[in-house]
């Protein structure tokens, strides 16, 4: 006998992605367009390959923001006959796509930096170029803070990935600004392409982390250890009362969490008594993991066959 957890309202709240999150994606698109224009002007004024690398990364920001808008729109759709668990995993495609774009931008930056190392070029109008780049960085910083807060509030990996990428862009810009300023002060032209190579290495790491996290989500990675342990602690408390369990599985799917467990109760219990226990147990887990959908399967404690389904495939 299988018991499914939660009321309809609980399920809807867990699986629906608020349509309002798309407003944050539009904010990210606007910020990317503004910073591309500003950083492009800074590069044109100075001729700095470091500032060029910064502008290229903003192009990646724009592509990622457009992808985020598309995937948030898809993730906001309710479940249907073909997608009974909803469309929340669409967010992983967005973060993975952004990670791939970051890696491609890093290659482009590295090629430009090596070329400039081999053929040094003087940097011009340093003061004006840096001032423009600072303004662009302020825009990115403000946008990143807004997206990060919204992503954590709504458990959106898409917004969190976009925010972390923007914050990486901010720190990257800070490094480039320091490098270009150092060239202006010292005249050492090799500092500019060297900083560009460091920028490329930094965003390769960011891109790899985004791709890895997206792959984990698509592969049904288990809940973070502290969340998984919360479910274990609750089940262990029931075990001390004579109620056993096994086959505990957890997974993360976008903004949703899933907890699946088999609960063993005395075979002499009535169906109603077992049902009441499972309702209470599921409610306890949902209180500890508010965005979780809990699925339980009730089995008789004394029946040896109850222990034949410890694995995913019986």
Residue-range domains of the chain with CATH:
17-218 (1.20.1510.10), 225-307 (3.30.70.1350)
Q: Is pLDDT of 272 > 80?
A: yes
Assign 3-state DSSP to the chain and report helix, strand, coil percentages, each to 5. 70, 10, 20
The sign of the dihedral angle between the CA atoms of 275, 278, 284, 289 is negative
User: How many Cα atoms sit within 13 Å of 57 on the Cβ side?
Assistant: 34
User: Under a CB-based contact definition with an 8 Å cutoff, are residues 292 and 257 in contact?
Assistant: yes
- According to the model, what pLDDT value does residue 46 have? 72
304: DSSP letter:
G
How many whole angstroms separate alpha carbon 108 and alpha carbon 105? 5
Tokens matching residue 149: 């807060």
229: DSSP letter:
H
Q: Is pLDDT of 49 > 80?
A: no
Query: pLDDT for 229-254, tens place per residue?
Result: 999 999 999 999 999 999 899 988 77
User: Under a CB-based contact definition with an 8 Å cutoff, are residues 147 and 28 in contact?
Assistant: yes
| CA-based nearest residue to 197, from 211, 178, 182, 176 | 176
- According to the model, what pLDDT value does residue 53 have? 67
- According to the model, what pLDDT value does residue 10 have? 42
Query: pLDDT for 173-208, tens place per residue?
Result: 776 777 777 777 777 777 777 777 877 787 788 788
Tokens matching residue 52: 């060029």
């Amino acid at each position: 006998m299988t018991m499914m957890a939660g009321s309809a309202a609980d399920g809807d709240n867990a699986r629906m992605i608020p349509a309002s999150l798309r407003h944050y994606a539009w904010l990210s698109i606007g910020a990317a367009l503004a910073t591309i224009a500003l950083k492009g002007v800074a590069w044109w004024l100075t001729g700095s390959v470091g500032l060029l690398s910064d502008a290229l990364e903003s192009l990646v920001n724009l592509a990622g923001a457009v992808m985020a808008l598309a995937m948030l729109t898809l993730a906001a759709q309710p479940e249907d006959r073909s997608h009974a668990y909803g469309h929340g995993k669409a967010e992983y495609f967005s973060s993975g796509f952004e990670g791939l774009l970051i890696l491609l931008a890093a290659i482009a930056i590295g090629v430009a930096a090596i070329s400039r190392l081999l053929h040094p070029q003087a940097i011009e109008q340093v003061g004006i170029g840096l001032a423009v780049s600072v303004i662009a960085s302020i825009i990115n910083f403000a946008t990143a803070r807004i997206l990060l807060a919204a992503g954590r509030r709504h458990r959106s990996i898409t917004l969190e990935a976009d925010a972390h990428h923007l914050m990486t862009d901010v720190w990257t810009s800070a490094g480039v600004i320091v490098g270009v300023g150092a060239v202006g002060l010292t005249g050492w032209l090799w500092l500019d392409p060297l900083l560009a190579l460091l920028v490329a290495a930094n965003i390769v790491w960011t891109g790899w982390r985004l791709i890895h996290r997206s792959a984990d989500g698509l592969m049904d990675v288990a809940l973070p250890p502290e969340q998984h342990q919360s479910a274990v602690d609750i089940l262990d408390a029931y075990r001390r009362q004579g109620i056993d369990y096994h086959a505990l599985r957890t997974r993360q799917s976008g903004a949703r969490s899933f907890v699946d467990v088999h609960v063993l109760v005395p075979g002499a219990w009535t169906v109603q008594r077992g049902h009441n226990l499972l309702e209470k147990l599921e409610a306890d887990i949902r209180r500890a993991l508010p965005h979780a959908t809990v699925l339980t399967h009730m089995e008789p404690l004394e029946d040896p066959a109850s222990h034949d389904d410890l694995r995913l495939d019986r």
